Amino acid sequence: MKKKRIVVNYPKLRVGDIVVCGGRGPAARVTKRVTAGRRNKNNPLISCHTGLVVEFGGQFFIAEMLIRGFTLSSFLRYEYERGSRFILDIKRSDVYDSREKRNALMGRVALDYRHKREKKYDWRENLSFVFKKLKHSASIFNCSGWCHHITKPDGIPYPSQFEIRVSPQDFQVFTGFSSVRGWKKSK
């Protein structure tokens, strides 16, 4: 089967957009099963990863928390729909209509990147959705926990449950964001 390429329309992106990703593979299936139910573990339209659009040097990247820790990734990493991870949607909050809020967010992301050795991925937090055990740490996150943590100071009206736990699927269905129109170029 030929892999279908996702072509991102970069002029439509903005700092602060949330990248909602689907995926295949064991980790994606576990995340989807835990957050969206057993029947959805193989559903390619359920999110299993989130990241944040940032811009450095005039180039867009995805700031994300991966197993190896906090990193900036190229959009090319997610360009095939049949890949292990691929972009499902790009979501936007009206909060980032403000240039000041976008600049403040970029400052926090740059600070996290500068101290990225101190930021660790918490793979066990994904399992905490099953056991409903939570721990709060300023340095250990899963992907969606980091996105919530880094954007929360800007006043996005997150539901109170995001304070307790937040999954990639929570970002996918959160009504406080709207899909970015035209983020994907049509062929």
* Domain of residue 113, CATH code: 3.90.1720.10
User: Under a CB-based contact definition with an 8 Å cutoff, are residues 63 and 36 in contact?
Assistant: no
pLDDT of residue 94: 96
State yes or no: pLDDT of 57 exceeds 50.
yes
183: in domain? no
Q: Is residue 48 part of a domain?
A: yes
Task: Give residue 139's pLDDT.
Answer: 57
Residue 91, domain member (yes or no): yes
Q: Is residue 4 part of a domain?
A: no
* Tally of domains within the chain: 1
Whether 3 is covered by a domain: the verdict is no
Q: Are 8 and 75 in contact (CB under 8 A)?
A: yes
- pLDDT value at residue 103: 97
Residue 118 belongs to some domain of the structure: yes
CA–CA dist 131, 103 (Å, integer): 37
In a domain, 26, yes or no: yes
Q: Which domain holds residue 86?
A: 10-178
pTM: 0.84
Query: Domain for residue 54, yes or no?
Result: yes
Q: Please give the Cα distance from 153 to 165 (Å, whole number).
A: 17
Over 146-161, what HEC string results? HHHHHHHHHCCCCCCH
pLDDT the model gives residue 2: 59
pLDDT at 130 (0 to 100): 45
Share of the chain above pLDDT 70, in %: 82
- Give the burial class of 140: count Cβ atoms within 10 A of its Cβ; 0-12 exposed, 13-18 middle, 19 or more buried: middle
